[in-house]
Chain A
Amino acid sequence: MSPNAGQLGLLTVSVIFFAVGGVLSLLRVFRQKPGLRLPAKICAYFGIATSLAVLIWHARMRGSWYPLEDNFDALIWLGVLLALFVQYVQRQRPLAGLDWFIMPVVILLLVAAGIFGQISPREYIDSTWSIVHRVTAYGGAAVFAVAGATGAMYLIHNRRLRRKTIRPEFEFGSLERLERFSMASVTLGFALLSVGLITGVAQAIHMGPYTRLGSHWMTQPKVLLAFAVWLIYALVLHTPINPRLRGRRAATLSVLGFVLMVGALVAVQFMPGGTG
């Protein structure tokens, strides 16, 4: 179901909150104004609250409280989960700079929800397989966003340490912590994506040529990209066995995997029957 003007307006407010929060967070560092930490945090929480309000409003309008029932719903959920994750990490054991990398992804997801929610308001849920598939695939994407962000942070931090151009205001925590964080995200994301792929494949086999992807579903870009992502993260998970991959290489693969994951998400929106 397409979102109405009010929901889109509220979603825009949410995007503005996240954007302002991000700008304040950057200003806090660039202008060295620690007092901006609280306003930045408040903006992020307001962004989350307004996004949740959009979801509730949309669910009421739809008359169903199942999450991820359509495109609009799924993308907002993904954004909210990521934003909540950042807040959780920053509260438990802050990883400086994480919000700079993930908040832009959150904003992009909300903007994408506003755009694609209108042009392809497809309903998703048609079976239990479908529910599991979508929850795990989107959950995997959210976790891979974290892996990609921490991978990018690792690369930047590593480059600065090697070039000896560390600037105290741009602290990203230690390399070891970033690596551990990235590996944990990859492990969780890989598990979720694996389940997502298995259920997706099972659904496609079960429905045969009647699936929205058609009889040649295996060659659809979305499926190929999802498999590529799976393979890349499988390689990253291989690091403890092949330590030559650790560090910069694993971080680069994490970023690459996330970029491909974004490609898969875009493909979902544009491919014929892409959401199926």
Chain B
Amino acid sequence: MQRLLLMGLNHATAPLEVREKLAFSTTQRRCALRGLRERFPGAEAVILSTCNRVELYVSRPTHELPRPEQMVDFLGRFHQLHPDQFSPHLYHKANVEAVAHLFSVASSLDSMILGETQILGQVREAYDLARSEQSAGLVLHPLFQRALAVGKQVMTQTTIAEGQLSVASVAVDYARRIFDQFSDKTILSVGAGKMATLVLRHFAQLSPGRLLVCNRDHRKAEELARRFQGTPAAFEHLSQHLVAADVVVCATGSSEPIITAELFEPLRKLRRYRPIFMIDIAMPRDIDPRVGELEHVYLYNIDDLQQVVRQNQSQRNGSLEAARRIVEMEVNSFGQWHRAREMGPMIEQLYARHHRMAQDELRRTLNKMPELTDDQVAHFEDLARRVVNKLLHDPVQRLRNGQMPHGMQQTYVHALEKLFNLDPPTTPKQDDDAEGPSAT
């Protein structure tokens, strides 16, 4: 039997300072998945790393590795951190709880901004990456496919994502609280990725005086600048651009801060102490938090902006309840499907063994009663089959639909294996079940 484990931290359990230390870039995720497979060959793994969470999903045979403490050790080793630095912020879930968590995550019910749609793309990306690294297998394939379907179902069948404030719109709102007009302002984007594009799209609507796009890859900067009628700016002259800028949007993939207090402090005089609004939506952060302590600097990171979105969002109680119901139903459905899939071979063995025994005993009895007609023999055979089916019905049903805790279920399965001398069940072929349970 397979055991599903989840180890992670999110915006509710860990501050930004901890999350950014554990965050994985795409390249790092690939390395980590390969590392995990090398260290624990029998395990499947998916790593979900967003600005709000870092989660490691692992599926492995019940009595094999990794155990939770080894997953913590793996995360620590990978990021060269001592487990004490992050383990108090970790949560650990297994089996049904892990499934419920993933479904909630994909449905944005666990997001800082309820109803945000970006998370669905991030879950898909995590799954695609694991698939390309061949680290998702018999359990994680159907699990993530189902999670994506549930997320989509929640977004389309409820109103949870309607009237949604975004981080970008909140950033613009804050800019309006600092600046009155933008026709004489310069907006600088450091980074030309998806997040920067998203925020720039909102800022471009303010018709700023100048829009600069600064990126290490100048070609990408040119592309983005062209899109918003801006000007590409050389990354090497970042200091000069910071002198000119009134609003700075930072969203690079850099693992170290790009704008440090040491860099920015001397620029304030050159800026003639003009106020500057800095938006750091990168993970890990691009702007040293000490910059925000300087006078005339208004620095907002992803948590600050999301907090505002969360405060401002309407309760959406109705849609929230509806979304929770969908998730709950899908978790049960997936659980049943998964149990049936895992126990199917064992139950088949159980029935086959008992029918075989019944047939053997019946044959022995029938040999002593040669006067019986074919019809009568058929009746006896039918009787034996029905007796076996009736005897096994209750325990099998309980195993299939059982609402029992995972440990108990495992115990029952082992007991059955031992008591009835069954072979341990083999996992069905991936091709048969990769699609998972049908959508409800």
Contacts and interface: CB of A to CB of B under 8 A. Distances in A.
Interface in A154-212: 157, 161-162, 164, 166, 168, 171, 173-177, 180
Interface stretch (B59-67, B114-122, B173-181): B173-181
Contact of A247 (B174, B180, B295, B307): B295
Interface in B265-316: 272-275, 295-296, 298, 300, 304, 307-308, 312
A166 B175 CA distance: 13
A176 B178 contact: yes
A243 B296 CA distance: 11
A243 B273 contact: yes
B177 A180 contact: no
A166 B277 CA distance: 15
A236 B295 CA distance: 18
Interface residues of B, number: 19
Contacts, number: 43
A246 interface: yes
B296 A174 contact: no
User: Which of B179, B181, B275, B308 counts the most chain A CB atoms within 10 A?
Assistant: B275
A28 interface: no
B387 to A, nearest CB: 72
B298 A176 contact: no
Given A247-B273, A247-B296, A174 B312 contact: no
Nearest to B179: A176
User: Which of A157, A173, A174 counts the most chain B CB atoms within 10 A?
Assistant: A174
User: Which of B176, B295, B304 counts the most chain A CB atoms within 10 A?
Assistant: B295
User: Which of B177, B178, B274 counts the most chain A CB atoms within 10 A?
Assistant: B177
Contacts of A243: 272-274
A244 interface: yes
A166 B275 contact: no
A177 B298 CA distance: 16
Q: Is the interface of A mostly helix, strand, loop or mixed?
A: helix
Interface in B175-192: 176-181
B273 A244 contact: yes
B180 A161 contact: no
A108 to B, nearest CB: 30
A37 interface: no
Contacts of B178: 161, 174-176
Given A162-B298, A164-B300, A246 B273 contact: yes
Given A243-B272, A244-B273, A247-B295, A161 B304 contact: no
A247 B298 contact: no
A41 interface: no
Contacts of A171: 177
A247 B300 CA distance: 19
Contacts of B274: 243
Contacts of A176: 178-181, 275
Contacts of B180: 173-174, 176-177, 180
B267 to A, nearest CB: 13
Contacts of A246: 273, 296
Contacts of B298: 161-162
Nearest to B303: A164
Contacts of B275: 175-176, 247
Given A176-B275, A244-B273, A166 B308 contact: yes
A164 B298 CA distance: 9
Given A176-B275, A246-B273, A247-B296, A164 B304 contact: yes
Contacts of A161: 174, 177-178, 298
A12 to B, nearest CB: 39
Contact of B177 (A175, A244, A248): A175
B295 A166 contact: no
B273 A174 contact: no
16 contacts: A161-B174, A164-B304, A166-B174, A166-B308, A174-B176, A175-B275, A176-B178, A176-B180, A176-B181, A177-B180, A243-B272, A243-B273, A246-B273, A246-B296, A247-B275, A247-B296
Given A175-B178, A247-B273, 13 more contacts: A164-B300, A164-B308, A173-B180, A174-B178, A175-B177, A175-B179, A176-B178, A180-B180, A243-B272, A243-B273, A244-B273, A246-B296, A247-B275
Interface of A: 157, 161-162, 164, 166, 168, 171, 173-177, 180, 243-244, 246-248
